[in-house]
Amino acid sequence: MKKYDIKTINLNTKILIYNFDECNKSTKKLIEKAQDIALNSYAPYSNFHVGSAVLLANGKIVTGSNQENAAFPAGICAERTAMAYANSKYPDIPAKAIATVAYQNNEITEEICSPCGVCRQFLLEVESKFNHPLKVIMCSKNNIYEAATVKDLLPLCFDKSNLD
């Protein structure tokens, strides 16, 4: 009988959970910017309006919203819109944090708005590019979830080190 050497690894992710009143001034401002820009999203198909705000190391805040398209998947998520704009406008400035908020039926969603897989990979690339942790702040009506780094949302990630 053949003996197998099967192993198990445990992956741990640390997520802080708090409410808006417990945020520091900088995080509140970032979330408010994400809320404001969500109202500019183009979401006629899903009615899921998402806004993201990116805090750069120089203190600037750059925003973006989701932009849907009848030819799925030609639309783009708020996280990638905001981060692509940040990288285009400030190519040498690291991003420190990104906050994302979603609205449905004109109200902030009950569940947090978590980046999709494509956005997680995109954000990971930014984190890797600058070799600097990117805090991910995901908001709902009552709670805020905060990951200290994109890698907390993408365990066993694929990055440039896999290509070396």
* Active-site amino acid positions: 79
> Using N-to-C axis directions, what is the helix angle for 25-38 and 78-89, rounded to 10°?
110
In angstroms, the first-to-last Cα distance of the chain is: 39
DSSP 8-state symbol, 93? S
C-beta separation of 97 from 104 below 8 A: no
Rounded-to-integer distance, Cα 72 and Cα 10, Å: 36
Write down the residue that tokens 């989701």 correspond to: 66
Distances (CA, A) of 141 to 77, 113, 138: 20, 10, 11
Distances (CA, A) of 122 to 9, 18, 23, 33, 35: 26, 26, 26, 21, 21
